Structures are given as structure tokens and as C-alpha cells.
A and B are shown apart, each in its own frame.
Chain A
């Protein structure tokens, strides 16, 4: 049965009339107030801010490293030609079988035939819900026609919306300059 003596700290006069601590506290909060105000008024970026260090999501996003692998997409070359020649290597190498290609042959009269291209993907679909972002398609593509973007925020309401077709993939991929121009220099 021990008696516990609660020690009451002796308060100084300023502490007893509350004023000293109150002023101290007010100084602290106003410092934070003006700190945040400066950050907001100067529109500082997340990494420059000392306050409000939370990322303001839609405006600010993660800086991904260069080797980050996001959504796979198709690209065109600088002459606005779809680079994919429907060889289907990506389809075969894809571990989760997310890629489906319906290859088709060019007509005799098409421009590309003269350059030596024979096939093109009539339909090209990637199921983004199946995709595991492994990057094998990009690695294996002999035409450098499929790339992984730094994009990781795909949004949809139904499963079907996540099956991206050829036009959508091309639009997302945009243009990538082709250095070899293997079909043009033939």
C-alpha cells in the first residue's frame, strides 16, 4: 500500500497568470500561420515547402524514376505511321495474356507494301486489368512499337472500359521518333 505523492511543479508568476505561456503559444502558432501563408502565396512546389508537405494530388503527382513501368501503349513514328507490324511477339510473350492482336494483310495498293511492310494489326487490344506492367512487350518488340508509359492512374467504371483498343492506345502513345527508319530507307 504505497502512497503516491503527486508532485505539483511550482509555477512562476508569469505561469500562474497564464500570460507568459499564452504569449509563447501564440508566437508559435502565428509562425506556422505565416510559414504556410508564404508557401501558399508563393505557390511553392511540394518539395520546396516546409509546411503543408502533403501532396496536393491532382495538381501535384509523383515524380517517377525513369525505369518506372506504367501502362503499355502503341506509338507512331514521325511520319504518323503506326509502327506495329502485327508480328504478335508481344502477344506471345505477355505473361498474363493481356494483349490480343487480330493481324491483317495490307492491300497490294497500300503505300506501306512498297516499303516492305506486309501486316498490320486490324485490332489491337490490351486488357489493362490483366496487365502486370512487366514490360516484356516493350523489351521484345522488334519494331519499338510498344512502350510503357509513366502513367499509372487508369480509371474506369466497368471491366470493359479497361480493355483499351488500338486507337486509344495510339492516342495515349503519341509520336516517338524512329531513328532507324528501317522501312523508309529500303
Chain B
């Protein structure tokens, strides 16, 4: 019993405490190099081979920077806010089956937990913006909450067709269904598009980075933050990207499976499935970067229009259609 618990804790620590931050650091490097390549530059290529040690240099810089707490802030909330963003970002990943039979918490309500916890992250942003007591931060925080309301709705609704089709909220069984039948991308392509677009808004990435909006709001909600507190906001954004890429892969792209490929039993099968999953996630992480360095930021009212007038009705239509198909044409 105790070993069981200890093993689970170790598992959680390895994945959430070690792999995710490392991947986030790698993403920062990838972001800078990919953006550079897309702009005909080279990007950071000096520290280590191909600049791979650049994140370490960045982290060292953040650690040794002076941690300024401005005099005009609400100290308690100000200090708490980065953690309120960071912790949900870490928790959400725990339900994702990242290899065969490997998830930190294989819950039956997996995807519900994702939505419940990932929406908590926005509190951190809003509170950080409010506690900073500066107009730019406040704008950023308010925008974050408004944006979250309009997109979280579409995000959650776009997943409902999946459960209508697979009949389960456990991510593991969603993957199993896809391995047996077909990647959900094909029957539910509109849901995939809506989920993808909403996840960009949810992670505050371009083209929906209105809470940050450096051209309008200096740096948005983290204007007043420096040193490690800023770094934690920063890390949370990248971990969120990883989580949502993992979710897209799990929900629409067959998770850790490949069609026409029987995974061998035992350890090798698990490792192979993990590699397949990592490759798929990497593609979607790249897509995050690719989109960021291609599209300009949506104007705030356009963003609201898209959320409420396009994606929400589209989701509802999709749900009704899927339900109809399930009820009359193809009852499972």
C-alpha cells in the first residue's frame, strides 16, 4: 500500500516535476529558433550545440535577477498569482495517457478534470493583473478572464461529440476506441478545428494573446513581474501548450497509437507508444509556434465575435448533429 503510494508520487514527480519543465525549457529554445528561422535569422546558436543549453542560461539569468516587488502592489495576491497559474498547468497533464497504460491519474472523468482545473489558471492571471495595481496589468487580467469565458465554452462543447461517439470520458478509453475504429479527426473534423482554435485562446497564444498583447499593454498581466515570478508565468504558458497539444493528440489523433501498427507487448511496446505520442505532440507544439509567427493578433472585438458568434453556434450544431447520427443512423 505505502509502496503503491510512493510509486505513484515518484511517477508524478518524474513527469510533472522533471519532464514537463524540461520540455517547457526546450520549447523556449524551440520557440526562439523556429521564430528566427521563419524570419530568416539564426536565433540563439551559441550556448551548447545548436544553442540547446540556452534555456539553462536563461534560467540562471532569471534566478540571479533581482526579485522586485513594487511598492504599489497587493503583496499577498501578487506573490500568489504566479503559483495559481503554474500549479493548474501542471495538474492538468496528470490525466493524459502519454504512453500505453501510463497516466499519472487515469480518471474516469479525465477530460472534466482538465476543464475544471485548466480554467483555474485564469484566476492566477486575473489576480496577478489586479494585484499588480497597474493599468496595463489590469487590462491584461480582465481580457484574460473575458477571453477565457468565451473560449472555454467552445472548448468544452467541442469535446462533447467525442463522448457521444466513444461513450466515455476516460481518456484512456477514448484512445482505445480510436485504436479500434478510426482517429476521431476524420468523423469530427469541425470539432477538431474548434478545439484547436479554442486551445490557442486558452493558452493565451497568438493569434489570441490579448491578455499579454505587448504592442498594446506593454506586457499585459505580467508587466509588473520580474525574475522568477515572471519565469513561472512564462513556464506555465509553455506547459499549458504541451498539455493542450497532448490533449489534441489524445482526443483526435489516436493518442499513443498508430493505425495499422500492433504495439508489441511488454516494456518495448510502452516505450514505443511513448515515442509515438511524443512525436505527435511535437508536431502540435510546432504548430503552436508556426501559427504564432504567422498570424497577427486578433483585435479584441473580433476575438469575441469569433468566440460567441461563430464557434459557440457551430459547436451546438455539431453536438445536435452528432447526437442525431448516434440516435437514428448509427446507434452504438
In the complex the two chains form, is B39's CB within 8 Å of A25's CB? no
Interface residue? A37 (CB, 8 A): yes
Which of A50-58, A132-140, A160-168 lies on the face that meets chain B? Answer: A50-58
Question: How many contacting A-B pairs (Cβ < 8 A)?
Answer: 42
Least CB separation from A17: chain B residue: B310
**For the complex, is B37 an interface residue (Cβ under 8 Å from A)?**
yes
Question: How distant is A39 from chain B, measured CB to nearest CB, in Å?
Answer: 9
A165 CB to nearest chain B CB (Å): 34
> How does the 8 Å CB contact mask read for B3-41 relative to A, with 1 for contact and 0 for none?
000000000000000000000000000000010111111
A36 touches B291 (CB 8 A): no
- With contact pairs A25-B295, A26-B291 given, residues A32 and B42 touching in the complex (Cβ less than 8 Å): no
Query: How long is the Cα–Cα vector from A62 to B61 in the complex, in angstroms?
Result: 33
Which residues of B211-235 are within 8 A (CB) of A? none
A29's partner among B38, B41, B42, B310 (CB-CB below 8 A) is B38
CB contact between A32 and one of B39, B291, B295, B310 (< 8 Å): that residue: B39
Interface size class of A (residues with CB under 8 A): 10 to 19
Number of interface residues of B (CB under 8 A): 14
A98 to B264, CA, bound (A): 78
Q: How far is the CA of A52 from the CA of B293 in the complex (A)?
A: 17
| B282-310 near A? 1/0 per residue, CB < 8 Å | 00000000110111000000000000001
Identify the closest chain B residue to A16 (Cβ). Answer: B310
Q: Which of B40, B290, B291 contacts A52 (CB 8 A)?
A: B40
Given A22-B295, A25-B295 in contact, is the A35-B40 Cβ separation under 8 Å? Answer: yes
Is there an interface contact between B42 and A40, defined as CB atoms closer than 8 Å?
A: yes
A22 to B290, CA, bound (A): 11
Report Cα–Cα, A39/B291, bound state, in Å.
Answer: 22
Q: Complex Cα distance A2/B198, Å?
A: 43
Q: Among B36, B290, B295, B310, which residue has its beta carbon within 8 angstroms of that of A36?
A: B36
Nearest B residue to A51 via CB reads B40
Q: How far is the CB of B98 from chain A (nearest CB, A)?
A: 27
Contact A32–B290 (Cβ < 8 Å): no
Contact A32 B38, beta carbon cutoff 8 Å: yes
Q: How many Å lie between the Cα of A30 and that of B289 in the bound state?
A: 11
B317 CB, nearest partner CB in chain A, Å: 15
Q: Give chain A residues whose Cβ lies under 8 Å from the Cβ of B40.
A: 32, 35-36, 51-53
Q: How far apart sit A52 and B45, CA to CA, in the bound complex (Å)?
A: 13
Least Cβ distance of B114 to chain A in Å? 26
Are A33 and B42 CB-contacts (below 8 A) given A25-B295, A26-B290, A26-B294? no
- B245 smallest CB distance to A (angstroms): 17
- Which of A22, A28, A30, A36 meets B42, CB within 8 Å? A36
Chain A residues contacting B37 (CB-CB under 8 Å) are 32-33, 36-37, 40, 51
A and B contact pairs by CB, cutoff 8 A, 30 listed: A22-B294, A22-B295, A26-B290, A26-B291, A26-B294, A29-B38, A29-B290, A29-B293, A29-B294, A30-B38, A30-B290, A32-B37, A32-B39, A32-B40, A33-B290, A35-B40, A36-B36, A36-B37, A36-B40, A36-B42, A37-B37, A40-B42, A51-B37, A51-B40, A52-B41, A52-B42, A53-B40, A54-B41, A54-B42, A56-B42
Residues on B lying within 8 angstroms of A by beta carbon are 34, 36-42, 290-291, 293-295, 310
- In the complex, besides A29-B294, A40-B37, A56-B42, 9 extra interface pairs with C-beta distance below 8 angstroms are A26-B290, A28-B294, A29-B38, A30-B38, A32-B37, A33-B34, A36-B40, A36-B41, A52-B40
